[in-house]
Chain A
Amino acid sequence: MRIVIAEDDALLREGLALLLRAESLDVVATADGPDGFLAAVDEHRPDVAIVDVRMPPTHTDEGVRAAVEARRRQPELAVLVLSAYVEQAFATELLAGGARGLGYLLKERVGRVEEFLGALHRVAGGGTAIDPEVVAQLLTRSRPDAGLDRLSAREREVLALMAEGLGNAAIAARLVVTDGAVHKHIRSIFAKLDLPPTDAADRRVTAVLRYLDAVRR
């Protein structure tokens, strides 16, 4: 997995690179600002980009804009955005281009190395990794959606965990139910959202997108 890191804080940038290299991941370039990041993406064509939201010159949302631009140039690029705090506007802007291969995590999640690496691999594989805090914030602001309204409370819970990017086994463990029960819930969600039985992974992503769509409107 070829990775580009964009982080303006030198110590944190080195720390991240050190952590990922110790895990035998291929950090091909690091950048300290949006311009350097876009140049590195063009040059190295990485699989995944890890991008900090606040970067020079204004330290506001340069990272989000750079990530959106990088995905416009290279649609297959998976992006994991790291943020100092949860901001729904950032999530909305990122998701506007689709949730495939997209992650939005609070910075401190990086310290939980296994979970962070899991999220990184999910995103690289085209999945999503949305921070539980983001999902929780989006949930409290959700707007009505005919399909989503038909979901039971449990099904909504399962869908929220899917949005976080968890697999069936992980969802089952989190909700303390069997894998079979999770399968049943997910089938029911697909049915209620009128998603035709094509590729399972695609349906999953579509369901999550629909969910995130509903909550961001």
Chain B
Amino acid sequence: MPLAPPSLAPAPAGASRGLRPAAVRAGRDTLNALEQLGGGLGTALLALALLLWVLVVTLACLVGVGVLLVPGALRLVHGLADRERARLGRWGPDVLGPDAAPTSLRDPAARRELTWLAGAATGGLAWTFAGVALPVYAVRDLTFPLWWPLLPPGEDSRPWWWSVDTWTGVAAVALLGLGWAALTVGATPGMARLHARAARRLLSPPPGTDLSLRVAELTATRAAALDAHVAELRRIERSLHDGTQNRLVTTTVLLGAARRSLARDPAATDELLERAQDAAEQALAELRSVARGILPPVLVDRGLAGALSGLAASSPVPCTVDVDVPVRCPASVEATAWFVAAEAMTNVARHSGATAARVTVRLRAGRLHLAVTDDGRGGAVEGGGSGLTGVRRRVQAHDGELTLTSPPGGPTTLEVALSCGS
């Protein structure tokens, strides 16, 4: 077990404090790994069916008629490969494939995808099946002592190839279950990693060949980044000119009026001065809000967790914040995550009618995942003054993705994944 070495835990209490997070992390890693392997198993089963179809088409080719079926089969293979690319992209960096299905076997992309199909339908299937079977065996064998006595006598109750008819045998099966459980926790994360690495290798473009896709995507996101930047500067310019400056001009107008009334009507002067002071105070408040809109100081000082707690504390809707990010991300990523959360919280307070909200932040495979969920009425859409269009642009500027799930009746979840560039 990857426990802290004794030198790092001088007091016994320290060791017990270290144990629980380690157990929680191991449990979470296992669940993530099982989710990945389960998804991989689904793909592998589809791949097996598709591989059989490809074999049928190949046989049909021998008699001539199959040639007509080749492009359709290649399209199906490409569709499944893209599905798998998207799935892998959710657990790590994006996997880029050809954007159109290859139409001929002469295309190297087609041959790569067929190679992947063959691998996924055979080795991939066995591998992911084993991964998913481990916890099933663990549960079945660990609970064996509970349901063995309930079996009607004479029923074939052997979990494995040997027959079990004594409590000693039952205990041995339970012990075996413990072994399966240990193996599940210990091996599945590695199995999921290996599986993803193999799939990625076969599904990515061959090294050094087709970077034009990536270049096109980066060009587009770069343009979006610059757009977002200009829109942001425009917003700041507006709030300075139309808000703060007007407050200051009002102050000078009232001060000017006060000076003029000093000789004429000293009684009115005090009221004018008070209004001038009010206007100056409003100017200060607006300056503060403009500055906070540029980059919240707390983000720099306290990091994302501190800044989000502040955001939650000032939200009219009760909000819990759960941030588990062991390292600091680049400042621009943290700022974007903060803006997304701030915009989402504004929408929650303004439109959702929710009674509770939750902000979750995790770091997975070099990507910062932020989710804001509320229990409101749902039905949220992009556009319509929700500010989500601006949020999407900012997110894309960071090579990120934004997903909004908001069925009528709720709940609403806004999920954002940002590339941390590490």
Contact = CB atoms under 8 A, between A and B. Distances in A.
Contacts of B264: 22
A9 B255 CA distance: 18
Interface string A72-89: 000000000000110000
A87 to B, nearest CB: 12
Contacts of A9: 242, 246, 250
A23 B260 contact: yes
A61 to B, nearest CB: 13
Contacts of B256: 19, 110-113, 116
A22 B269 CA distance: 11
Interface in B378-410: none
A35 interface: no
Contact of A59 (B238, B248, B253, B259): B238
Given A107-B249, A110-B252, A15 B241 contact: no
Nearest to B257: A19
Contacts of B259: 113
Nearest to B254: A15
A68 interface: no
Interface residues of A, number: 21
A18 interface: yes
Contacts of A110: 249, 252-253, 256
A108 B242 CA distance: 13
Given A110-B256, A113-B256, A113-B259, A15 B250 contact: yes
A16 interface: yes
B243 to A, nearest CB: 9
A85 B282 CA distance: 21
Contacts, number: 64
A200 interface: no
Contacts of A23: 260
B241 A84 contact: yes
Residue of B245, B248, B268 with highest tally of chain A CB at under 10 A: B245
B247 interface: yes
A16 B253 CA distance: 7
Contacts of A18: 254, 257, 272
Interface in A1-51: 8-9, 11-12, 15-16, 18-19, 22-23
B204 interface: no
Residue of A11, A54, A59, A113 with highest tally of chain B CB at under 10 A: A11
Contacts of B319: none
B261 A22 contact: yes
Interface majority SS on B: helix, strand, loop or mixed? helix
Interface residues of B, number: 25
A108 B255 CA distance: 12
A22 B241 contact: no
Contacts of B246: 9, 11-12, 107
B109 interface: no
Contacts of A22: 257, 260-261, 264, 268
Contacts of B333: none
Interface string A152-191: 0000000000000000000000000000000000000000
A77 to B, nearest CB: 23
Nearest to A106: B249
Contacts of A108: 248-249, 252
A84 B245 contact: yes
A15 B248 CA distance: 12
A111 B252 contact: yes
A22 to B, nearest CB: 6
Interface in B10-58: none
A25 to B, nearest CB: 12
Interface in B217-249: 238, 241-242, 245-249
Contact of A111 (B241, B242, B253): B253
Nearest to A52: B246
A12 B241 contact: no
A5 B22 CA distance: 69
B110 interface: no
B255 A111 contact: yes
A54 B261 contact: no
Interface string B272-302: 1001000100100000000000000000000
Contacts of B238: 59
Interface string B67-108: 000000000000000000000000000000000000000000
B252 to A, nearest CB: 3
Nearest to A56: B242
Nearest to B247: A11
Given A54-B241, A59-B242, A12 B260 contact: no
Interface in A93-133: 107-108, 110-113, 116
Given A8-B242, A15-B250, A84-B245, 20 more contacts: A11-B246, A12-B246, A12-B253, A15-B253, A15-B275, A18-B254, A18-B257, A19-B253, A19-B256, A19-B257, A19-B260, A22-B261, A22-B268, A23-B260, A108-B248, A110-B249, A110-B253, A111-B251, A113-B256, A113-B257
27 contacts: A8-B242, A9-B242, A9-B250, A11-B246, A11-B250, A12-B246, A12-B249, A12-B250, A15-B254, A15-B279, A18-B254, A18-B257, A19-B260, A22-B260, A22-B261, A22-B264, A22-B268, A54-B241, A84-B241, A85-B241, A108-B248, A108-B252, A110-B249, A110-B256, A111-B249, A113-B256, A113-B260
In the A-B complex, the 7 residue pairs with the closest CB atoms: A111-B252, A113-B256, A9-B246, A15-B253, A19-B257, A111-B256, A84-B241
Interface of A: 8-9, 11-12, 15-16, 18-19, 22-23, 54, 59, 84-85, 107-108, 110-113, 116
